A and B are shown apart, each in its own frame.
Chain A
Amino acid sequence: MSIMARTKGYPEALEKKLRDQRYYREDSNPDFLKNVKTISRTIAHMCYQCGTCTGSCPSAPRSSYRIRNFMRRAVLGLENEALTDPDLWLCTTCYSCTDRCPRDIAPTDVIMAMRNLAFKRDIVPVNFLKTVQAIYSSGHGVPNNDVNRAAREKLGLTRDPPTTHMYPEYVKGIQKILDHYKLKANADRIVKEREG
């Protein structure tokens, strides 16, 4: 208990020494853990690498994706290694790891935070951007089509649902929100770079 209590107020020199010990690799960035924690709002630094997350993960048995590895990278500040790993995008966000984590961490939200940080560097699969583009133009990620309009009519529903589809005047508000974050401009730019 006394050790625990003392850790709260390390003298600056000791703090620095421990920091040097922890972040021993040249490519590690201590701010990475800080940023991950701020965005994810979860206590990522509490991970003790038990592996319950990987053991619960439906993506793990069919790929090289290991959520525990990403948790370690967060703690060690291995930003480049984490953000450039294509496995980052194999989390289905099922939250099984979060439900089972004995440290009450939300590893799923750590992955989401890392994806947010990756996007800031233009690292993002194109399908995510296409959803943004679809919502910008129609308000829907999966928009209506003529076959479905006919089917809706047969069911006694309106041809377009009473969403932005039937009231397109609401789309402007959505565009303003997305423009506030420059999301559409960035999505267009990255898609163009990738697909010409």
Chain B
Amino acid sequence: MSESESNFKFAFYLGCIAPNRYPGCESAAIKTCKKLGIELLPLKGASCCPAPGAFGSIDLNVWYAMAARNLVLAEQMKMDIALLCNGCYKSIWEVNHKLKHNQDLRDGVNEVLKEIDMEYKGTINVYHIAELLYNPKYVGPEKVRDSITNPLTGARIAVHYGCHLTKPHKDREFEDEVMLNTEHPVWMEDLVAALGATPVEYRNKMQCCGAGGGVRGYDLVHSLDITNEKLINLKEVGVDALTDICPFCQLQFDRGQIEIQEKFGVSYNLPVLHYCELLGLAQGMSPQELGLDLHGISCEPFLQKVL
């Protein structure tokens, strides 16, 4: 496929952890999406979503107003938002949804936004990049498969879905109903298989990474213990890498493994890659181009298998 034809344009909402801790996720998303006909344009002046755990816990009204400011920036560009983090999805998608459907919340938010000459109008939609990649209306697994030049043949890869893209499913509105299955979804496995890799199931796949709700900051050992349980279950089935669609989950699994080594004395050395990074590798991007050297856990053993 020619790189020049972009069928879809989105305002690319970055969040915090992707641009400021795993910039490879940001560049991988831009480059891989471009190859698939999606152009991601900078959303100038965007801030933290803000963190749904930290801000939502303190004052939900501030959470609504701060997320609304980010939404208004995209409304001013007259563009839908695409993003690559589940935490951001909760803030940006969910606040958009709440404000569209609750006049009282919308009035409250607009009263505050008036102070900074902004008004939330409810004119745009919000999408997670994983959702765009899975939906054939935008991309779809077939087109993902057609875009790859370096199939990840032989690699056993497990998926960590994370929580806030699909949960709570009662509030979510995905075009494809399989994405509303939060007990045992397999749509991400389809995307992994499209890269030529072997998706691997493991016990309690849908368990949380442990980082959310401010728990990582409040009680690190408690939060790492949740992560450790997932790592034990992953070790049981033997995988070459874990893939995620949330940089915060990625931080918890990647840097978290170093902290788990320090605090619990167990090491797993399991490479953890955002799906956009995996897609980049399969599309022929080099590990350097993807910033994989910035990961806490070395991706080398996995790279030797797939490159």
Residues of A within 8 A of B (CB): 39, 58-59, 62-63, 89-96, 98-99, 104, 106, 108, 112-113, 115-116, 119, 124-125, 127-132, 135, 139-145, 148, 151-152, 154-157, 161-167, 169-174, 176-178, 180-181, 183
Q: Is the CB of B167 within 8 A of A98?
A: yes
> Which residues from chain B contact A91 at a C-beta distance below 8 Å?
213, 215
Q: Pull 13 A–B residue pairs with CB atoms less than 8 Å apart, ordered by A.
A: A89-B214, A96-B208, A99-B169, A127-B218, A128-B54, A129-B58, A131-B54, A141-B48, A142-B20, A157-B26, A157-B27, A165-B20, A169-B45
- What total count of A-B pairs have CB within 8 Å? 213
Given contacts A155-B27, A174-B66, contact A90 B218 (CB under 8 A): yes
User: How far does the alpha carbon of A93 sit from the alpha carbon of B169 in the complex, in Å?
Assistant: 14
Q: Is the CB of A92 within 8 A of B45?
A: no
Q: Which of A90, A130, A167, A180 contacts B45 (CB 8 A)?
A: A167
Given contacts A127-B217, A128-B214, contact A59 B16 (CB under 8 A): no
Q: Is the CB of B51 within 8 A of A174?
A: no
User: How far does the alpha carbon of A59 sit from the alpha carbon of B222 in the complex, in Å?
Assistant: 8
> Which residues from chain A contact B52 at a C-beta distance below 8 Å?
93
User: How far does the alpha carbon of A178 sit from the alpha carbon of B223 in the complex, in Å?
Assistant: 28
Q: Is the CB of A90 within 8 A of B47?
A: no
Q: Is the CB of A93 within 8 A of B66?
A: no
* B92 at interface by CB-CB < 8 Å: no
Q: Is the CB of A180 within 8 A of B112?
A: yes
Within 8 A of A (CB), among B149-206: 163-164, 167-170, 182-183, 206
- How many residues in B have their beta carbons less than 8 Å from beta carbons of A? 67
Question: How far apart are A31's CB and chain B's nearest CB, in angstroms?
Answer: 18
Q: Is the CB of B170 within 8 A of A98?
A: yes
* B211 at interface by CB-CB < 8 Å: yes
Knowing that A95-B167, A99-B170, A112-B56 are A-B contacts, what are 10 other residue pairs whose CB atoms are under 8 Å apart, sorted by A's residue number?
A62-B222, A89-B57, A90-B215, A128-B217, A148-B23, A161-B26, A162-B14, A173-B69, A177-B69, A181-B112
Question: How far apart are B215's CB and chain A's nearest CB, in angstroms?
Answer: 5
Residue of A whose beta carbon sits closest to that of B105: A41
Residues of B within 8 A of A (CB): 14, 16-17, 19-21, 23-24, 26-27, 42-48, 50-62, 65-66, 69, 112-113, 115-116, 118, 163-164, 167-170, 182-183, 206-208, 210-215, 217-219, 222-223, 225-226, 229, 288-289, 291, 294
Max chain A CB contacts within 10 Å: which of B69, B112, B163, B168?
B168
> Which residues from chain A contact B169 at a C-beta distance below 8 Å?
99
Question: How far apart are B161's CB and chain A's nearest CB, in angstroms?
Answer: 11
Q: Is the CB of A58 within 8 A of B226?
A: yes
Q: Which of B23, B46, B61, B218 contacts A157 (CB 8 A)?
A: B23
Nearest 4 A-B pairs (CB), nearest first?
A127-B217, A170-B45, A94-B208, A161-B19
Q: Is the CB of B222 within 8 A of A63?
A: yes
Q: Which of A94, A116, A157 contacts B58 (CB 8 A)?
A: A116
Q: Is the CB of A140 within 8 A of B48?
A: yes
User: How far does the alpha carbon of A95 sit from the alpha carbon of B291 in the complex, in Å?
Assistant: 32
Q: Which of B20, B217, B291 contacts A155 (CB 8 A)?
A: B291
Question: How far apart are A173's CB and chain B's nearest CB, in angstroms?
Answer: 4
Q: Is the CB of A162 within 8 A of B62?
A: no
Q: Is the CB of A177 within 8 A of B58?
A: no
Residue of A whose beta carbon sits closest to that of B111: A180
> Which residues from chain B contact A94 at a C-beta distance below 8 Å?
163, 167, 207-208, 212-213
> Which residues from chain B contact A172 at a C-beta distance below 8 Å?
116
> Which residues from chain B contact A145 at a C-beta distance below 8 Å?
20
Question: How far apart are A124's CB and chain B's nearest CB, in angstroms?
Answer: 6
> Which residues from chain A contact B215 at a C-beta distance below 8 Å?
59, 89-92
Q: Is the CB of A174 within 8 A of B168?
A: no
Question: How far apart are A166's CB and chain B's nearest CB, in angstroms?
Answer: 8
> Which residues from chain B contact A163 at a C-beta distance below 8 Å?
14, 19, 43-47
Residue of A whose beta carbon sits closest to that of B17: A142
Question: How far apart are A51's CB and chain B's nearest CB, in angstroms?
Answer: 18
User: How far does the alpha carbon of A89 sit from the alpha carbon of B66 in the complex, in Å?
Assistant: 22
Q: Is the CB of B56 within 8 A of A183?
A: no
Residue of B whose beta carbon sits closest to that of A62: B225
Q: Is the CB of A124 within 8 A of B66?
A: no
Q: Is the CB of A144 within 8 A of B214?
A: no
Q: Is the CB of B57 within 8 A of A119?
A: yes
Residue of B whose beta carbon sits closest to that of A129: B58
Max chain B CB contacts within 10 Å: which of A63, A129, A173?
A173
Question: How far apart are B230's CB and chain A's nearest CB, in angstroms?
Answer: 9
> Which residues from chain A contact B56 at a C-beta distance below 8 Å?
93, 112
